[in-house]
């Protein structure tokens, strides 16, 4: 049985502008606009406009008259963009995965705000200083092509086999949240940085190469261009509705238990947000009971509020998927402090 431990944390991709940005940093005119700008890691917006974001943003606009302007990219990419714009803030709400949400907080990109409903979010899943809270819980995972590879691999070691040469890819650590998660899980499973880098150096012989977007790997797996790629449960479960060849699995070390860790989407109000009040309203809405009940049914994820316990078909399937998977808790403070060193070690080991 799954023991739920702290769902905490980028996901990836080239910038996608759903609308052009017109907000100006903090002017009174801007603050009166009926808009809110969201910078977010990918995964919650549907490929066909049928994702959780699509539903809740439409509901929010209908309820409040506030239009959501949406910008999507990798978790690290979104933090870097917000950092570059710090003197002329464009975003109102930032949504990203660990360790990038912690990074945003430590760089002063977020202001404290406890959304309505955040008191129902577990204490481990929100910042002690009130700068961010999880809105959708999630877990790191891998995917395989069920048609060409009916039985999912079971171990890291299996992926070193020659059958995976140029048929395996994972997103770039330090850029993509899920790519960074590959490092975190490997260091946990192999017992430290050195053995993890030794393994990833060997795996590089089969790796297609870098990818800034984790979400773009799923279509390649579905089509059979790749046999295996990294991802996360929420995003890949949602994608599997339109990509029937996707299967989700969790690597183990050797004959050990499959492992994973929580990788939630966490949201915060951006410091000096040009439409701060609208940002607060959106954060309240994302954590409302109604929106949280749709996390599984529409988005294929896990509610952040512990008092919301959906029983829809997706919720049942997700619980079954996590059955027997050991969930560990990363040391996010260490990762936040040493992320650059870990990514540099990976670059050195893999020649990336």
Q: Does the pLDDT at position 326 exceed 70?
A: yes
Q: Does the pLDDT at position 153 exceed 90?
A: yes
3-state secondary structure of 220: helix
Whether residue 233 contacts residue 178, with contact meaning beta carbons closer than 8 Å, is answered with no
Nearest to 267 by CA among 74, 101, 66, 90: 101
What are 246-275's pLDDT values in tens digits? 999 999 999 999 999 999 999 999 999 999
More confident residue, 162 or 8: 162
C-alpha torsion 14→20→23→24, nearest 10: 80
**Integer Cα distance of 222 and 148 in angstroms:** 10
**Integer Cα distance of 228 and 207 in angstroms:** 10
pLDDT band at 2, cuts 50/70/90?
Answer: very low
**Average pLDDT for residues 14-39, to the nearest whole number?**
57
Q: Which two tokens stand for residue 238?
A: 């949602």
Beta pairing, strands 246-249 & 259-261: unpaired
pLDDT band at 3, cuts 50/70/90?
Answer: very low
Task: Respond yes or no on whether the N-terminal peptide bond of residue 99 is cis (omega within 30° of 0).
Answer: yes
Whether residue 199 contacts residue 193, with contact meaning beta carbons closer than 8 Å, is answered with no
pLDDT band at 30, cuts 50/70/90?
Answer: low
Q: Does the pLDDT at position 12 exceed 50?
A: no
State the pLDDT at residue 89. 97
Q: Does the pLDDT at position 133 exceed 60?
A: yes
In sequence order, what are the beta bridge partners of 145? 246
Q: Does the pLDDT at position 185 exceed 80?
A: yes
Q: Which two tokens stand for residue 329?
A: 């808790």
Share of the chain above pLDDT 90, in %: 84
Task: Name 198's Cβ contacts closer than 8 Å, sequence gap at least 6.
Answer: 190, 349
State the pLDDT at residue 47. 80
Share of the chain above pLDDT 70, in %: 91
Q: Does the pLDDT at position 24 exceed 50?
A: no
Q: Which two tokens stand for residue 204?
A: 């590089």
State the pLDDT at residue 48. 85
State the pLDDT at residue 107. 95
What are 291-323's pLDDT values in tens digits? 999 999 999 999 999 999 999 999 999 999 999
State the pLDDT at residue 17. 38
The single-letter DSSP state of residue 125 is: G
What are 190-233's pLDDT values in tens digits? 999 999 999 999 999 999 999 988 989 999 999 999 999 999 99
State the pLDDT at residue 32. 65
């Amino acid at each position: 049985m799954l023991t739920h431990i702290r769902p905490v944390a980028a996901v990836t991709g080239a910038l996608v502008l759903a609308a052009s940005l017109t907000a100006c940093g903090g002017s009174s005119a801007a603050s009166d606009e009926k808009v809110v700008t969201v910078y977010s890691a990918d995964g919650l917006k549907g490929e066909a406009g049928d994702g959780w974001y699509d539903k809740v943003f439409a509901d929010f606009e209908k309820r409040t008259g506030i239009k959501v302007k949406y910008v999507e990219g990798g978790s690290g990419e979104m933090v870097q963009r917000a950092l570059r714009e710090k003197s002329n803030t464009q975003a109102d709400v930032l949504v990203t995965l660990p360790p990038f949400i912690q990074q945003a907080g430590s760089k002063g990109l977020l202001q404290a705000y406890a959304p309505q409903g955040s008191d129902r979010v577990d204490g481990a899943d929100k910042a002690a200083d009130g700068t961010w809270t999880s809105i959708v819980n999630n877990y790191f995972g891998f995917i395989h092509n069920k048609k060409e590879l009916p039985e999912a691999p079971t171990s890291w070691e299996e992926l070193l086999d020659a059958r995976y040469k140029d048929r395996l890819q994972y997103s770039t650590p330090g850029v993509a949240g899920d790519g960074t998660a590959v490092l975190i899980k490997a260091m946990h499973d192999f017992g430290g940085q050195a053995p993890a880098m030794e393994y990833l150096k060997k795996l590089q012989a089969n790796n297609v190469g870098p990818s800034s977007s984790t979400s773009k790997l799923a279509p390649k797996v579905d089509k059979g261009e790749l046999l295996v790629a990294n991802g996360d449960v929420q995003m890949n479960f949602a994608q599997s509705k339109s990509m029937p060849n996707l299967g989700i699995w969790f690597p183990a070390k050797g004959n050990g238990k499959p492992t994973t860790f929580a990788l939630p989407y966490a949201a915060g109000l951006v410091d000096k947000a040009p439409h701060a009040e609208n940002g607060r309203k959106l954060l309240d809405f994302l954590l409302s009971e109604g929106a949280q009940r749709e996390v599984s049914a529409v988005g294929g994820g896990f509610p952040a509020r512990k008092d919301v316990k959906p029983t829809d078909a997706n919720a049942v399937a997700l619980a079954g998927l996590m059955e027997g998977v050991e969930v560990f808790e990363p040391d996010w403070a260490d990762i936040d402090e040493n992320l650059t060193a870990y990514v540099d070690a990976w670059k050195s080991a893999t020649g990336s």
